[in-house]
Structure 1
Amino acid sequence: MEWDEAWSRAVWGGEGERDTAASVLAAAGEGWTGVAVRTFGEVVRGAVARGWADEDLVRMAGRELGEPSHRMARALAAAPGRKSLGRFVDGERLDRFSAAHTFVELLCLYAALPTITAPTLPPPARPAEGVGGKALARIRALLAKAESTGFPEEAEALSAKAQQLMARHSIDAAELAAAHGGGADAPATRRIGVDRPYEGAKALLLDAVAAANRCESVWSAEYGFATVVGHTADLEVVEVMFTSLLVQADRALHRGRSSRSRDFRESFLISYAARVRERLTAATEAEVAEAARASGPGLLPALAARDLAVRDATRHLFPRTTATRLKGRDPDGWRDGRTAADRARLRDQVPPTFSGSIRNRPRRS
């Protein structure tokens, strides 16, 4: 059997067909990596044409196949070519059939991915000179300190300061866009991975960070990512803040007892996301109010115009969305999650449940 026929059968076949394809590929001898990479390039180009970005493909490999397929996907995405594949195989110490089987699984996953809606918005404007670089560096530095400190109160203060700078960063970009007529700075999109476990609660946290930073988030639960719509100045800080808050939440979740129930963990993260939403929104509103007093009457209409542009772009990309409602059922998890997000409020009354909702792209029928 020829290789092209073997791997084509493997895409929609079972384990037996994948084993056959791996055997055919391994039988190509020392030149198997060249054959593999040629097919890989064709399959990746097809997936990209169906709306998948390179980083989406790597994430799906980790989500659906695990290791070492995920490591192989990362290696090929970083430096596609037979030498890169050969180095990966040598580094993993795989025999030829095992390497070929791992490759075939990856190839079949990519080839079977369906068509998804690729974000189609006008290309984002280049950030104006002097805006972004220094602010983002300060924000990253503050969040890095928040992640590394062993003192929860210090982490909270550092994260709050980072959000204040994020809001100021967005305001500066809005003022510059308004000064240049406002038309060039159109909304853009960014896909951000939302990993298992408890991906619903994590998507709720991302939605909270996005909303506080003048962006909108739509979760594609089936594929493990959310599409965030916003202006270029805001998208970067959303991803940076979301990643940092996940690190801080994970550390707080594992502090103390090592054994936690699934209900506890999920309730913790839902409550954490809810309190983060309150805190970040309050910080943004305070910064906007202060900036409006200093800048005069032109700022609020400029911000409102940007908010409207983001909403319109989101509706254009996702005309149909559904609401996914999440409930936390463990009172201890709810309390600890809120405490982790706001150490100053230790005496809140704990309700029996807490719920939140996120917008979700409908699943394929």
Structure 2
Amino acid sequence: MGMHNQQRRAAKAKARRRRRAPAGHQGAGSAAHAAWPWTGAPPADPDRTEDDRIADDIADAVGSLAAGTPQTAAAPLQRLLDRGAPAALRVATCHQLSAMLEARIDDAWTRGWRPVDLHNLTGRNLNESAKLVVADAMAAQLAAFATATIAPAWAEQLRTMGASRWWRASDDFVTARSGTDGFERTVRSAVDVAALLAMLPTIERLDPLPGTARPQRPEPSDQVDPRILERVRRLLAQAESTPYEAEADTFTAAAQSLMARHSLDVAMLSVSADRPADQAGPVRLWVERPYEQEKIQLLHVVAEANRCRAVWTSDLGFATVIGHRPDLAAVEAIFTSLLLQATRAMVGEGRQVTSSGRSRTRSFRRSFLFSYATRIGERLQAATDSETASVLEEHDANPSGDTDASRALVRVLAKRSAEVDAVVDELFPQLVSKASSFTPDLYGWSAGQRAADAATLSGAKSTLAKPSS
């Protein structure tokens, strides 16, 4: 064999390996898409194997979808589906899709995404079939790491979404999923998920990467008392289930007071020299469509009343709440309960129309939720201030003679507030505050105020926006 022929064959083999390799993070106009600048069937090449053609079609379909040109993805996607007849080619297609998805999941971790984030983003943009595929991909990718080296919250997130390695060890997850949901449906979902993952921007990392987490023994002051949290949840559940407003208000107010008192107790623990203070940190909460901005306003006022701050990443659909552990627990529980109560009251108002018969339901509901959030914020802040004043009075009246206790609590609360602000500045150095601008519907605003008064209180480039006060 001549030297030139050897070099040509080596170059072709290298190109085939490059096409077969799982792609990393690739956006519009990426190298994966550039591998197929044409449409229709590829030109004949005797050195290209069927595996090469599968890899090229996957890259072409995924690249076209990621580039926002789904029409050019139709031909390579159809070729992938047509290969489903011979069993061997079906397995090869599924295997390559599995490898690509695992590689993209791995890349997503480095970009700050967690299992719950990828699951929510997929549900927000695709469908239930795609959510199953992304859950399988995450379970497969994380199975390579020892449990102790994965952030504890991730295991709980996987359990919540039902993600686990349910397939045989000899299979890959796309092959297994195609056996239960059908080859065509699974391939289409896998390609859609791969394209979505190809467009992921980098976001704030909240947890250590898989394989790098280390077990930590939390200090007593780091912990939210599980007994108190369970009592709060029971009170909120009673508040949500009762048809009587006065009874619901009693349950919710009790839950709010319980969490506020617990937070103050935890803060006081840090005054003792042998109890180090817990550090402020972030949690990420996803907000479902529609009326996201109005729901975020509710989250904002709940966070502020509990000495936290909320930052909304509007183009992706989630908010990051920064605070100390007991305060974050209160925000999550109370916001979830109040959002449920607000939605139920809003829907109960029914469809709204003008005197001429035109629908004004959307403007009514936006106004309803903004008004609800404004009034709830006032009630929550009043409850927090009342509980704080009560604790300070108790310390001042304590006959044991610790006259500095109340002043120490004030200093600790100020210090914790500064810590929250510091974490916000660190995570979001380019934070932009945006005030909402819309013309309120007066009927919706009044209805929202009434609902808030009746509610139980216990109960790429990202544009970051903090909702207006």
User: Which TM class, normalised by the smaller chain length?
Assistant: 0.7 to 0.9
Q: 1:143 to 1:328 in 2, by over 3 A?
A: farther
Match of 1:6 in 2: 57
2:218 aligned with 1:126, yes or no?
A: yes
Match of 2:127 in 1: 66
1:263 to 363, 367, 370: 363
Match of 2:24 in 1: none
Paired AA for residue 240 in structure 2: E
How many Å apart are 1:69 and its aligned residue? 2.1
Counterpart CA distance in 1 for 2:394 and 2:292 is 41
Match of 2:16 in 1: none
Which segment is superposed worse, 327-336 or 269-278? 327-336
Counterpart CA distance in 1 for 2:368 and 2:279 is 36
> Which has more radius of gyration?
2
Match of 1:168 in 2: 261
1:1-365 correspondence to structure 2 within 5 Å: 1-13=52-64, 14-15=69-70, 16-17=72-73, 20-21=76-77, 23-24=79-80, 27=84, 28-30=89-91, 32-74=93-135, 76-77=137-138, 78-80=163-165, 82=167, 89=178, 94-119=181-206, 126=218, 128=220, 131-180=224-273, 183-258=276-351, 261-295=361-395, 296-297=405-406, 298-326=408-436, 327=438, 329-343=440-454, 361=464
CA contact (8 A) 1:2 1:24 kept: no
How many Å apart are 1:64 and its aligned residue? 1.4
Paired AA for residue 233 in structure 1: P
Paired AA for residue 64 in structure 1: N
CA contact (8 A) 1:198 1:266 kept: yes
How many Å apart are 1:132 and its aligned residue? 1.8
How many Å apart are 1:205 and its aligned residue? 0.7
Counterpart CA distance in 1 for 2:381 and 2:191 is 47
Q: 1:251 to 1:234 in 2, by over 3 A?
A: same
Counterpart CA distance in 1 for 2:101 and 2:332 is 30
Which whole-Å deviations, capped at 9, do the CAs of 1:201-251 have from their partners, x for residues lacking one? Answer: 111111111111111111000110011111122212211211111111111
Q: 1:324 to 1:152 in 2, by over 3 A?
A: farther
How many Å apart are 1:331 and its aligned residue? 0.6
Counterpart CA distance in 1 for 2:191 and 2:90 is 16
How many Å apart are 1:126 and its aligned residue? 2.4
Q: 1:285 to 1:12 in 2, by over 3 A?
A: same
Counterpart CA distance in 2 for 1:155 and 1:265 is 23
Counterpart CA distance in 1 for 2:275 and 2:104 is 40
How many Å apart are 1:112 and its aligned residue? 1.6
Q: Percent identity?
A: 35
Which whole-Å deviations, capped at 9, do the CAs of 1:282-321 have from their partners, x for residues lacking one? Answer: 1111111111122332211111111111111111211222
Provide the secondary structure at the position in 2 that maps to 1:179: coil
CA contact (8 A) 2:220 2:275 kept: no
Q: 1:256 to 1:205 in 2, by over 3 A?
A: closer
Q: 1:210 to 1:19 in 2, by over 3 A?
A: farther
Which segment is superposed worse, 78-87 or 224-233? 78-87
Structure 2: 5+ residue runs without aligned partners?
Answer: 1-51, 139-162, 209-213, 353-359, 396-404, 456-462
Counterpart CA distance in 1 for 2:107 and 2:235 is 41
Counterpart CA distance in 2 for 1:86 and 1:241 is 42
Q: 1:176 to 1:272 in 2, by over 3 A?
A: same
Counterpart CA distance in 1 for 2:465 and 2:371 is 25
Match of 2:29 in 1: none
Paired AA for residue 189 in structure 2: T
Which whole-Å deviations, capped at 9, do the CAs of 1:19-56 have from their partners, x for residues lacking one? Answer: 62474376332465444333222111101111111111
How many Å apart are 1:343 and its aligned residue? 3.0
State the TM-score, normalized to the length of structure 2: 0.67
Match of 2:3 in 1: none
Which segment is superposed worse, 129-138 or 289-298? 129-138
Match of 1:355 in 2: none
Counterpart CA distance in 2 for 1:21 and 1:120 is 36
Structure 1: 5+ residue runs without aligned partners?
Answer: 345-359
CA contact (8 A) 2:376 2:452 kept: yes
How many Å apart are 1:67 and its aligned residue? 3.5
CA contact (8 A) 2:232 2:255 kept: yes
CA contact (8 A) 2:105 2:137 kept: no
CA contact (8 A) 2:312 2:318 kept: yes
Paired AA for residue 329 in structure 1: P
Provide the secondary structure at the position in 1 that maps to 2:285: strand
Q: 1:362 to 1:245 in 2, by over 3 A?
A: closer
Paired AA for residue 301 in structure 1: R
State the TM-score, normalized to the length of structure 1: 0.85
RMSD: 2.9
Paired AA for residue 9 in structure 1: D
Provide the secondary structure at the position in 2 that maps to 1:223: coil
Paired AA for residue 76 in structure 2: T
Provide the secondary structure at the position in 1 that maps to 2:435: strand
Counterpart CA distance in 2 for 1:221 and 1:112 is 16
Runs (4+) of structure 1 exceeding 6 A deviation are none
Counterpart CA distance in 1 for 2:205 and 2:387 is 34
